[in-house]
Amino acid sequence: MNALKNPRLLGTFAVVVLIGAAPAVFAGENYAMRVITVGMCAAIAVYGLNIILGFTGQLSLAQGGFFGIGAYGVGLLTTDYDWSFWSAFFVSVIGTAVIGYLCGLIALRTKDEYFAIFTMAIGFIIFLVISRWEAVTHAHSGVNNVKFPEGAGIVDFSSPIAMFYLVFLVLLICIYITHAIRRSSVGRTLLTIRTSEDLADAIGVRVGFSKQLAFAASAVFGGIGGGLYATVVGFIGPDAASIDKTFEFLMFILVGGMGTVAGPLLGSMIVTFLFELFQDFQAYRFIVLGPIIVALVIFAPRGIIGYLGEFIDRRNRRRRLAGMRRSPKETGPDGRSAAPTAETMTESGAGTTSEETK
């Protein structure tokens, strides 16, 4: 139960429980349930953005496009081709993975602003194909009556609550994967690339290959989010793949906190809620949200969760220092006298010499 002592995990846990309990509060209010469910679909795509932008430090502007591929894959296969939802979903996700991997082949050769421009071009191409290829995608008439997922036994996904929990479950899996990546050497690999590609290269990290995998993974999450979105809303149009979608996701992650486990979820929920609040001013909402984003980038560049994380780190460091001052004779795990405060630094320096020469 160490997890409960870790304030970071505890925070993620609290947000998850809050959202998981939402149906109890909003039972019967189908509109509210739908807003939250759609928000969670977006959050899944934002977890993808978190892998490539948050962990790997590469600004991908193709996420809206991958979301659109997932949505249209499920939408078209379940209507025009009458596939079951699950097979359509599975194929769409595999499809985004393949497209993401192939785009990654080129993306891995670019970095920084070139990567951003390249991925934005990918996003645009996907949007153009979806909005113009009338014979296949129906262009601006969109796709109607996307199938609900087929239930089993008493589970019936035409009920908003069942749909909510389906998306919630997938979201939980995405959060867990994010957590697993973060604590593993895979996450460490991505973080080294974010901090310094040259240094990552020097310690033997396969920078290009890792970037490509991270990009493909982010595409997969985008596809999953899009596929679920299609079945939740039932109707999709080309705006599901638009560049606006990408910038929405970007705003979600900026508000919540890049490279954190809870950030994408929290940011998605808060901003979705704000969007709803300003819904009557649809066209003007960015006028209000714009300054909020600017303020966030200036005062909390790592988002809400990043800000809290720094606060926790500082407090821990202070506690550790205070702990060491109280018990200077405490021995470290290496059996030597434990770490110095500034005053004892020279002594421990002498201690290390004997260690080296033996």
Partner 1 sequence: MTLLEVRGLGKRFGGLDAVKSVDLDVDEGRITAVIGPNGAGKSTLFNLIHGFYHPTAGTVTFRGDDITHSSPHRTVAGGIARTFQTTNLFEDSTVLENVLAGRIVRSKSTIFDAVFHTPRHRRESRVNEDKAMEALEYCGIAEHRHDLASNVPQEVQKRTAVAMALATEPELLLLDEPAGGIPEEETADFGDLIRSLPGQGVSVLLVEHKMTMIMGLADTILVLDHGQKLALGTPAEIQSNPDVIRAYLGSSTDEEN
Residues within the interface to partner 1 (CB under 8 A): 176-177, 180-181, 183-189, 191-192, 195-196, 198-207, 213, 217, 317, 320, 332-334, 336, 338-340, 345, 348-349, 351-353, 355-357
- The smaller minimum CB distance to partner 1, of residues 140 and 188, is found at 188
Minimum CB distance to partner 1 smaller for 109 or for 188: 188
Report, in Å, the least distance between residue 220 CB and partner 1: 11
Residue closer to partner 1 (CB basis): 282 or 357? 357
Shorter beta-carbon distance to partner 1: residue 16 or 338: 338
Which lies closer to partner 1 via its Cβ, residue 83 or residue 221?
221
CA gap 70, 172 in Å, rounded: 19
For partner 1, the closer of residues 120 and 190 by Cβ is 190
Q: Phi and psi (nearest 5°) for 20?
A: -60, -30
Q: And the tokens for 247?
A: 């910038």
Cα–Cα dist 244/255, whole Å = 16
Q: Which is nearer to partner 1, 290 or 332 (CB)?
A: 332
CB atoms within 10 A of CB 222: 34
Phi, psi of 58, rounded to the nearest 5 degrees: -105, 120
CB of residue 45 to partner 1, shortest distance in Å: 18
Cβ proximity to partner 1: between 84 and 196 the closer is 196
Please, what is the minimum distance in Å from the beta carbon of residue 177 to partner 1? 6
| Shortest separation between residue 186's beta carbon and partner 1, angstroms | 5
Task: Indicate the Cα dihedral angle 293, 297, 300, 302, nearest 10°.
Answer: 110
Q: How far is the CB of 345 from partner 1 (least distance, A)?
A: 8
Q: How far is the CB of 70 from partner 1 (least distance, A)?
A: 20
For partner 1, which is the closer residue by CB, 192 or 242?
Answer: 192
* Residue 145, number of CB atoms within 10 A of its CB: 10
The minimum distance between CB 267 and partner 1, in angstroms, equals: 21
Report, in Å, the least distance between residue 310 CB and partner 1.
Answer: 11
Residue owning tokens 């925070």: 11
Rounded Cα distance, 21 and 161, in Å? 11
> How near is the Cβ of 187 to partner 1 at its closest, in Å?
8
